Amino acid sequence: MDIKLLEHPPLTPEQLGARWNCHPKSAQRKMIRLGVAPVRLSRRSVHFLMADVIRIEVECKAGLAQKAEAPPELIENSRERARESKAKKETEAAAKSMLKEPKAR
C-alpha cells in the first residue's frame, strides 16, 4: 500500500453507514455498486478507503441521496392505469346513483 493511502484510516461499513445516515450493509452495497473495490484487512473485515468515500460524496453532491428514475414506459403505463381506474370509478358511481334514484310515477 502507498504511504499516502494510510494518512486516513479506511472506514468500516459501520462507520460509512454512520457517516451517510444509513444501514451499514446499504452503504457497503452502494459502494460496491458504484465500482469501489473494498479493502480486506483480514478475511472477515471489509474497509473502504477514505479517498474513495470522499470521491463518491463529491460525485453525488447530496451525500448519496440519489433517486432512482423509473423507465418511461413504466411511467406511461401507470398513467394509463390511473386514467382507466378513474374512468371505472366514475362509471360505477354513475351506476350507483342511477340505482338509488327513486322512480318517478
> Does the predicted model carry a pTM greater than 0.85?
no
User: What's the CA gap between 86 and 57, in Å, rounded?
Assistant: 43
pLDDT tens per residue, range 80-99? 777 788 888 888 888 877 77
Q: Pinpoint the alpha helices (H) of the chain.
A: 13-20, 24-33, 50-60, 72-100
Domains in the chain with CATH codes: 4-60 (1.10.10)
- Per-residue pLDDT averaged across 31-56, rounded? 85
